[in-house]
Amino acid sequence: MLNRVIFLPAAFFLASLAPLRAAVEDSVKALAATGREGAGNEAAAAAWKAVVSEGPRALPALLVATGTRGVVVDNWLRLAADAITDAALHAKQPLPLAEVEAFLKDTKNAAPARQLAFDLIAKTDAALADKIEPGLVNDPVQELRRGALARLITAAKSKAGDDAKFAYLHALDAVRDEDQTNEIAGALKKLGVTVDLPKHFGFLMKWNVIGPFDNTDRKGFDTVFPPEREVKPDTEYNGKTGKVKWKTVESKDERGKFDFNKPFGLLKGVTGYGVTTFDSATEREAELRLGCKNGWKVWLNGELLFSRDEYHRGAQMDQYKMKRRLKKGANTILVKCCQDEQKEEWTVEWEFQLRVCDSTGTAILSTK
């Protein structure tokens, strides 16, 4: 069992924090110089020892440095923080938990640093971590939210009947990650409640689609077909095998997948387009998150956001995240989805899923 440590007031550390931060920054520079082939390892090891030798008073400066120089440096800093904490616990030295907690609660701090702050608290004072974690259920950092949601799910499992239903619905209001959402939705289904997963995640389900256009030898990806120049619902165009025109199709897939094979058939070497209008209540920041295993391009209000010319390497929810600002009112989203000419059974999929959400994964719903 871990020893409880003495809490020291944050003010005790403020006087020495500035020079410590400078010292840690010098050490961070040495750590950042570490190369993949081992270059700089000797200097990094010396810098790491220098940081650890400062003891508990270096923890606030370590937190400030974490998340500023990349994963390699973060790993060194986390190891240093763990070494300092382990030594302090063994020697029953006081740790600046008040300042670590304050750092954690400031959501402007870097996500890796805030995660490290919580891990240090959990390692040092389990009771304090138990007190803090439930309040992280809507935290912008995914890893911090997950622990809080796991507590809600565990609590719901211990209940029955309407009490269980209420507990799971409470968890559903806060959950964002796919696996935890599936667990909650499954439990609610057994209790007689059907969860609207497309609405919960913010998947776009209704599309106007047109195709097929050509993608022989994968040339269609870079070919500018008419839908990239104009979207006119009543206009016909020359497709791969004849005239094509727009049609309205609504996905019924609970994971929000739109399958081009359904309106067009099982085709190969083809390109399809889908367009939809998303009405935003306000001008705001948002993320368009796509899952797709085909070649694709996405436009928002005529601006190409991103594209990927590769096929059948797997797809998952939120595979690609595109941050943009929605305008108030109607926003036009256009998706180009290309299917190649591979014949294997596992290359049949010609589909995508797209949702609109904020940076935490909370769905943003169209007003129309």
- Calculate mean pLDDT across residues 215-235: 96
pLDDT of amino acid 107: 95
Average pLDDT over residues 40-50: 76
Q: For residues 61-87, give the mean pLDDT.
A: 89
pLDDT at site 34: 59
pLDDT at site 20: 64
- For the stretch 282-313, pLDDT in tens is 999 999 999 999 999 999 999 999 999 999 98
Contacts of 218 (CB under 8 A, 6+ apart): 295, 309, 311, 338, 340, 341
Q: Is the pLDDT of residue 102 over 60?
A: yes
Q: According to the model, what pLDDT value does residue 15 have? A: 44
pLDDT (tens digit per residue) in 253-270: 999 999 999 999 999 999
Specify the length of the chain in residues.
368
Q: Do both 15 and 68 map to the same domain?
A: yes
Q: Are residues 109 and 74 in the same domain?
A: yes
Task: Mark whether 183 and 205 lie in a shared domain.
Answer: no
Q: Which of 97, 114, 136 is the last residue of a domain?
A: 136
Q: Which domain holds residue 63?
A: 11-136
pLDDT digits (tens, 9 = 90+) for 316-355: 999 999 999 999 999 999 999 999 999 999 999 999 999 9
207 and 353 assigned to the same domain? yes
Residues near 229 by Cβ (< 8 Å), separated by ≥ 6?
none
Looking at the structure, do residues 233 and 162 belong to the same domain, yes or no? Answer: no
* H helical segments located in 92-160: 97-105, 111-124, 126-132, 142-157
Phi, psi of 270 (to 5 degrees): -135, 165
Same domain, 243 and 104: no
Q: Is the pLDDT of residue 100 over 70?
A: yes
> The tokens 């923080």 sit on which residue?
81
Q: Assess whether 334 and 207 both reside in one domain.
A: yes
| Highest-confidence segment of 8-12, 17-21, 57-61, 166-170 | 166-170
Task: Say if residue 186 is in the same domain as residue 286.
Answer: no
pLDDT at 38 over 60: no
For 186-197, the DSSP string reads HHHHHTT----H
Confidence at residue 50, expressed as pLDDT on a 0 to 100 scale: 83
Q: Does residue 298 sit within a domain?
A: yes
Encode pLDDT of 184-200 as tens digits. 999 999 999 999 999 99
Q: Is the pTM of this model over 0.85?
A: no
CATH number at residue 305: 2.60.120.260
Question: What is the number of structural domains in the chain?
Answer: 3
Single out the residue of 244, 266, 258, 242 nearest to residue 336, CA to CA: 258
Token output for 172? 């559903």
Residues in contact with 323: Cβ distance below 8 Å, sequence separation at least 6, in sequence order: 285, 286, 287, 359
Q: Show the tokens assigned to 58.
A: 């270096």
User: 239 with 344, same domain?
Assistant: yes
Q: How far is CA 267 from CA 295, 312, 345, 347, in A?
A: 15, 15, 12, 11
* Pairs from 356-359 (Cβ < 8 Å, separation ≥ 24): 356/202, 356/204, 356/278, 356/286, 356/287, 356/288, 356/289, 356/326, 357/201, 357/202, 357/286, 357/287, 357/289, 358/285, 358/286, 358/287, 359/140, 359/285, 359/287, 359/323
- pLDDT, one tens digit per residue, over 133-176 is 999 998 999 899 999 999 999 999 999 999 999 999 999 999 99
Domain shared by 233 and 315, yes or no: yes
